[in-house]
Structure 1
Amino acid sequence: MSLTRNIKYSLPVAAAFYLSVLTGCTKNFASMNTNPNGLTDSMLQLDHAGLGAFFPVIEKNVIPVAANTGDGSVYQVAVNLNADLFSGYMGTPTAFGGGQNNSTYALNSGWDNAPFNVGYNTVMPNWYQIRLRAAASNPDFYAVANILKVAAMHRITDVYGPLPYTGYGGGGYSVPYNGQDVIYNAFFSELDSAITTLSAYVAANPGATPLANYDLVFGGKYVEWIKFANSLKLRLAMRIVYANPTLAQQEAEAAVNNTYGVMTANTDNAFVGSANGITIYNPVWVIDYNYGDIRAGAVLGSFLNGYGDPRLPAIMTASTTYPGQYIGIRSGISILTSADRTAREGFSSMNLNQNSPIQWMTAAEVDFLRAEGALRGWNMGGTAQSFYEGGIQLSFSYYGVGSAASYITNTTSTAAPYTDPVDATNNEAAGSPDLSTITIAWNSGDTFEHNLERIITQKWLAVFPNGEEAWAEFRRTGYPKVWPVLINYSQGTISTQIQIRRLPFPQVEYQNDNAAVTAAVSLLSGPDNGGTKLWWDKK
């Protein structure tokens, strides 16, 4: 296992040579903005082969896949050692930095560069080349590329806040950062344009799939891409509900009421999986089963155990040290030595295999988004209760655990207390204010906040293991109840109770583009540290 700032990417054979010029250094704005002809026409005019080859590279980095069964380092530093921990999904048994690391809010600047690197070393340069070559000649390809860009970059802006976005590719050696309000407006515009373009293409070319040989998500099925774009728009609309409720409702209702609508069945789910001769390796499996650096989180186990949730064994494995028990690791605790790691290596792992597809978005998540919209009085095409219960059933069906009929009528079960068999200091006892008391069954007579907590808690369970989405929704709503760290090395920059809100801008940006990143700090609501809230984080 290697944690490195020099991120390496595994490219498909057809694209490796063409793309090697694109992925050299962080935010390669100089070449991207001033040398648009790095690839020649002859390279790309090969029956779409050169153009199509850019797509799997982007798809493999919306959520970074593992390079092979022994290398999940990109995902580890870009996602696992931040959002997967901060969301409550996972915990680490490894004493990184002698216990002073992201899990205890001693933020590692090398790790914290990684999400930015994924966006600006891989996603944006390859999107830019598609724009250059396809915007006019193959607008359908460009439309899919724009959906991919939004799918990737919304994750990154939700880590840092302001980013260099709307000016990317416009010329010059420095690109100004945009505030998140500007970036989100651009997202909606790009998705709307892509939906319009693909809808027109489908109407004129029913059944055509020109991207099929290059698409690892939907096999080139443009109707599915339209549904995904609408669903993504719904997700982003809900993200800004406390910052711009009028725009949020407008975009959410437009997404749901579009001709093709949103994802409604598990056959619509967006995953990156092995296809077209490309093998996808699951990075969480690598980090869990190969590195041994991650295990299921104590908060995840608390909800699944407490609810008697049939999905429990499908999501977590039983402990090998304590047979028959499902025990997660609490994040933000004292892990100082290799002995601490050894004591917890037998805790519950994630129930994955090395080729498990990478989940971007599911129909279950969409139902929970519609449930929240309906709870707010928006036109979502149904009631909050119907979408809430439908989302649970979609998640149950995805995991193959049968009917949710009895589960959704459970009016008594709540999150279970947590006992750490290694160190009682880490326990969450019954009655703790950090332990959720929300029940499962919908209660139309309950308060808005209690029903919102129900929706987000069940969405959090259904979205697993998408840590970045879960962390964003926890910051947006305060739900589900994710336990605070017990050790906080942030030196007062991050509140233990409010919890971490973002990652600081990469240090390399201060070195390479100081004026732009310094100006970006003024777009934040506070200093450039982990305690400052993002634009949409208004609740």
Structure 2
Amino acid sequence: MKIRLIKAVAFTLLTGVFFSCEDLTKVNINPNGVQPEVVNPNLVMPTVLTEMSKAYVNLGYQDIAGVVQHTQKDAWSSGHNDYDWGGNQSWSGYYDILRNNDLLYSRAVALNWEFQQGVALVNKAFMFGLITDLWGDAPYTNALKGETGGTDNILPAYDSQEVIYTGILADLEKANTLLSKQKSEYSNIVDNVDVIYSGDPTKWRKLANSLALRYYMRISSKKPDVAKAGIEKIAKNPANYPVILSNSDDATMGFPGTSDGTSWPANAVYDVSGSNYRRIKMANTFVKYLQGVKDPRLGVWAAKVEIPLVVDATLPAKTDKIVDGKRYLSPDVVGNTKVDTDPEYVGLPTSFSQLPSAYNMNPTPGQTSFNPHVSFLAPMYKNATGPLLRARLVSAAEVNFILAEAALKGYSVGDAKTFYENGIKASLTTWGVGSTSAAYLANSGVAYNGTVKQVIEQKWIASWTAATEAWFDFRRTGFPELKAGPVAKRQALPVRFYYMQDELRINSKNSAAALDKLEVTNFSQADGKNSAWSKPWIIQGTGKPY
């Protein structure tokens, strides 16, 4: 991979609007004359935070939501529904963010600004964590040294996942120390350039330690002693290792909605046709599960079916008519076609057809169809901005579920039931239905039963619009027990992204060495080593998810 040093300087403070710098990764020379060697770190921070947050929500709201079957698409659907990803999934945008973040960190070190150093280390851990989680081995040690000379930096070697996760945890430990002071003890904090926490070092410290919990749990099957010691260290020392246990500490970013680049992805405000919103439907897997446990979040996330179907054997043959907002069909009209007659919510089955827009007797199938017989997402997802439309990086729900799983593994962290129930309460509160917590926790299938399966399934629900964590949990645990649909590219869920073709061609020696360490499975097939179904180190030897 040819790593290019792109000198990007955010000018957000000069404009007073943090999203005015929509894509500063393309800026090589600052027209205001502020060069990287002297730039104020506070001018770089908003670019890093906004681009990082947008990258994460774009994954969790788009194709990865299809993988974990939160949603399916009924047009332009092959990537979302069928895992037909090809070989061009690029990490270049992620490394662009890391280069800008490296500038933020190096300038903060030069100026001895500890708050900005701590934030940059958290960002570095988050982005490198995402890269290795998605692809496997990746350039890490020499990845951001393209202008320091030498072929090894221009075409860097790939570090192993084990090395990368170890480095991530070390950076988060350092960030915990750097962010341990009261805000008044730091200099040069500018609240409005921090679009995550408004310059609050205590909350950034909680994010650092919460990410450490995420990554200790990630490696728990491969390095169980390290994971146990790390999680117990954090859980037993809340004064020295505070974590996110309250919704008020969630790491989230809102969207101003002033342009397409600063708006909720797939909104119908700047996409005047509304096609991106219109194509995304609730997945049948998710809808049925939520209905089965009487989950109040379904009504927050999904719209009710516009025109429910009613199949009535007492109707005359060839009946197909709409009466009082319902479409009545005689059995002969339906024939052998599978239909869902739920009067409220209907999800799109997983990868069931190459023409998913035809599902449930849609009279106008096609790429531009509007299917009135399947649940759209809630109308708020058409908006450019809104109180619930946020990029969610780490939440109190996730942290509580991690600790619940840790307790069930026998770690000395506290009571699994309490963490499990607190995770559910946190998620319900996030989505405005916290008042239903007591009733929901008493429902069949929700009432605590002491299994990791139940914890991960609730974590899967709570990861709505942040689906990457649900994917990595599935890969690690096999839960939820998701199955590929009949027309999916393989009859199993993928476990990684492909290395992109440009990388394989340009950095061929190092990428070939990384490929050689992947484990081919029965589902890798014609893809060979570079397959979305070949196992990276993190799940090799675990027997998961297959």
TM-score exceeds 0.5? yes
1:269–1:363 CA contact under 8 A, matched in 2: yes
- 1:359 aligns to what SS in structure 2? strand
> Which residue of structure 2 lines up, in the alignment, with residue 136 of structure 1?
110
For residue 57 of structure 1, report the CA deviation from its aligned partner: 1.8
Which of 364, 368, 376 is 1:349 aligned to? 376
Q: Deviations over 1:182-241 (max 9, x none)?
A: 110010001001111111x438x3587704121111011010000011111111111111
Residues in 2 aligned to 1:371 and 1:469: alpha-carbon distance in whole angstroms: 16
Distance 1:528 1:143, change over 3 A: same
Map of 1:127-526 to 2, 5 A cutoff?
Answer: 127-137=101-111, 138-170=113-145, 171=148, 172-199=153-180, 201-202=181-182, 205-206=184-185, 210-256=189-235, 257-258=237-238, 259-274=240-255, 280-285=262-267, 289-291=274-276, 292-322=278-308, 324-336=343-355, 339-341=365-367, 342=369, 344=371, 347-351=374-378, 352=381, 353-355=383-385, 356-380=389-413, 382-401=414-433, 402-411=435-444, 439-444=445-450, 451-489=451-489, 494=490, 496-497=491-492, 499-526=493-520
Residues in 2 aligned to 1:308 and 1:22: alpha-carbon distance in whole angstroms: 45
1:374–1:384 CA contact under 8 A, matched in 2: yes
Distance 1:318 1:177, change over 3 A: same
Runs of at least 5 residues in structure 1 that lack an aligned partner in the other structure: 1-8, 25-30, 32-36, 66-73, 412-438, 445-450
Distance 1:227 1:327, change over 3 A: same
1:120 matched to 2:98? The reply is no
Equivalent residue letter for 2:420: Y
- 1:369 aligns to what SS in structure 2? helix
> Which residue of structure 1 lines up, in the alignment, with residue 48 of structure 2?
58
1:107 matched to 2:85? The reply is yes
Residues in 2 aligned to 1:167 and 1:183: alpha-carbon distance in whole angstroms: 12
For residue 18 of structure 1, report the CA deviation from its aligned partner: 9.8
Q: Deviations over 1:477-529 (max 9, x none)?
A: 1111223221133xxxx4x14x2111110111023222221121123223110
- 1:310 aligns to what SS in structure 2? coil
Q: Deviations over 1:353-388 (max 9, x none)?
A: 4211111121011111110111111122x2111111
Distance 1:125 1:16, change over 3 A: farther
Distance 1:52 1:83, change over 3 A: same
> Which residue of structure 1 lines up, in the alignment, with residue 524 of structure 2?
none
Distance 1:314 1:208, change over 3 A: farther
Residues in 1 aligned to 2:10 and 2:287: alpha-carbon distance in whole angstroms: 36
| Aligned length, in residue pairs | 460
Equivalent residue letter for 2:396: A
Distance 1:75 1:109, change over 3 A: farther
Equivalent residue letter for 2:179: L
1:45–1:51 CA contact under 8 A, matched in 2: no
Q: Which segment drifts farther, 311-320 or 383-392?
A: 311-320
1:44–1:51 CA contact under 8 A, matched in 2: no
For residue 41 of structure 1, report the CA deviation from its aligned partner: 8.9
Equivalent residue letter for 2:214: R
Residues in 1 aligned to 2:372 and 2:43: alpha-carbon distance in whole angstroms: 40
Q: Deviations over 1:428-459 (max 9, x none)?
A: xxxxxxxxxxx221125xxxxxx111100111
Residues in 2 aligned to 1:481 and 1:152: alpha-carbon distance in whole angstroms: 28
Residues in 2 aligned to 1:386 and 1:313: alpha-carbon distance in whole angstroms: 26
Distance 1:21 1:371, change over 3 A: closer
Structural RMSD (CA): 3.3
Runs of at least 5 residues in structure 2 that lack an aligned partner in the other structure: 1-7, 309-324, 326-342, 358-364, 521-528
> Which residue of structure 2 lines up, in the alignment, with residue 535 of structure 1?
537
Distance 1:333 1:53, change over 3 A: farther
Residues in 2 aligned to 1:298 and 1:191: alpha-carbon distance in whole angstroms: 38
Normalised to the residue count of structure 2, the TM-score between the two structures is: 0.76
For residue 79 of structure 1, report the CA deviation from its aligned partner: 5.4
Residues in 2 aligned to 1:248 and 1:140: alpha-carbon distance in whole angstroms: 27
- 2:99 aligns to what SS in structure 1? helix
Distance 1:325 1:146, change over 3 A: same
Residues in 2 aligned to 1:242 and 1:53: alpha-carbon distance in whole angstroms: 41
For residue 179 of structure 1, report the CA deviation from its aligned partner: 1.1
Distance 1:81 1:277, change over 3 A: closer
Equivalent residue letter for 2:253: V
Residues in 2 aligned to 1:178 and 1:157: alpha-carbon distance in whole angstroms: 9
Normalised to the residue count of structure 1, the TM-score between the two structures is: 0.77
Residues in 1 aligned to 2:257 and 2:306: alpha-carbon distance in whole angstroms: 37
**Sequence identity percentage:** 25
- 2:140 aligns to what SS in structure 1? coil
Q: Deviations over 1:154-193 (max 9, x none)?
A: 2222111111112223333111111111110010001001
1:58–1:127 CA contact under 8 A, matched in 2: yes
Residues in 2 aligned to 1:299 and 1:208: alpha-carbon distance in whole angstroms: 50
Equivalent residue letter for 1:392: I
Residues in 2 aligned to 1:359 and 1:220: alpha-carbon distance in whole angstroms: 18
Residues in 2 aligned to 1:184 and 1:519: alpha-carbon distance in whole angstroms: 19
